[in-house]
Amino acid sequence: MTKDAVFIYSDELLGYRFSDQHPFNQTRLTLTMDLLSEINALDPDEIVPPRIATDEELFLNHDPKYVKAVKRASVGQLPLEQAEGFGIGTEDTPIFNGMHEASAYLVGGTLTAVDYVMTGKAKHALHLGGGLHHGFKGKASGFCIYNDSSVAIRYLQEKYGARVLYVDTDAHHGDGVQWSFYDDPTVCTFSIHETGRYLFPGTGNINERGHGKGYGYSFNIPLDAFTEDESWLEAYETSFREIIEFFKPDVILTQNGADAHYYDPLTHLSATMKIYKEIPRIAHELAHEYCEGKWIAVGGGGYDIWRVVPRAWSLIWLEMTGRMNATTSFPKAWSESWNSKAGVPLPSEWLDSEDIYPPIPRKKEITEKNKQTVDKALYSLRQQLRQKPSS
């Protein structure tokens, strides 16, 4: 019997932890699990533990020399001058004991999600421990040691022969995944993010379209700083619908960073919880329309771990399992149980009030600029769609 969705989780995922002060904090997984449990939306038989990725699976996207370096760093045997050449031992991605095993569990979780969906055991799968989209073939970057999405896409290609649409809604550009498949026409990458003018990693411009046979299969929508809900959602839905109609994938892999929210301390967008209700709704709809429901979702960024991430990630699961409409009131017990640790007042509703920030004076200008960005990014795609004969 096919399940609607499976939730990939075990406590091994909490081992990916740089330090108590580091902004990447897996306590957000615990908070999300607790929130879903509080509203009785996560049954024990829906939870599937991740397996650890093998070296051979990591080698699908990572250089063996790099994997060896991470293993040595894990046990304190990699000199710092060598570590920095691999992007580890830096302020963003410091070394911690057991980092190889912890990272391999994150990758294995995404591969577990892939197998459940592609073998028909579940229509959808959610792995919130994944989504580390900045990792490169031979180098860590931006809190990401191994790139689970890139490994998973290679795995999807080799084991299942699948055409993959990768959709990245993190506020930071999904650079590691894009560059991994930049010359591959069987993988289409779509990243909607804050412009890299003032934000790491500084890439994701509309002219990053792909290379060689992969030209025209990489799409970027860099939004202006302070973009609000309506403009963000218009850009996302318009682009998603046109790109999927153009590419017609076998499966959708969505990266669900929750850092486009106004509260996020590392970014400059002005979205609210409204977009985090719509992001999975649209992905769910399009997965059924184009991919027989095949939808794999992973986590990603999100640095307001108390007020934003648990709500945003819970909404993905509620959408996947058809529980969205059955869930109305936000559980006061969850907020009360975590208030003393949070250091900020916790939410009492699923969505934000309309006055969580003062009006943005440049709203009209930002909205118009974002529309122009979408038009430019999709211009060639639209030309191709117009030239296709009608069926």
The residues annotated as belonging to the active site are 134
Instruction: State how far the alpha carbon of 293 is from the alpha carbons of 118, 123, 192, 276, 296, in Å.
Output: 10, 6, 22, 20, 10
User: In DSSP terms, which residues pair with 136 in a beta bridge?
Assistant: 139
Rounded Cα–Cα distance for residues 336 and 330 (Å): 12
Structure tokens at 201: 């990693």
DSSP-derived pairing of the beta strands 3-8 and 47-48: parallel
Rounded Cα–Cα distance for residues 90 and 241 (Å): 39
Cβ(378)–Cβ(239) below 8 Å = yes
**Using alpha carbons only, what angle is made at residue 123 by residues 117 and 124, rounded to the nearest 5 degrees?**
75
Rounded Cα–Cα distance for residues 320 and 296 (Å): 10
Structure tokens at 107: 């990758």
Rounded Cα–Cα distance for residues 128 and 36 (Å): 13
Q: Following DSSP, what letter does each residue of 243-293 receive, concatenated? A: HHHHH--SEEEEE-----BTT-TT---BB-HHHHHHHHHHHHHHHHHHSTT
Rounded Cα–Cα distance for residues 283 and 296 (Å): 10
Rounded Cα–Cα distance for residues 74 and 63 (Å): 17
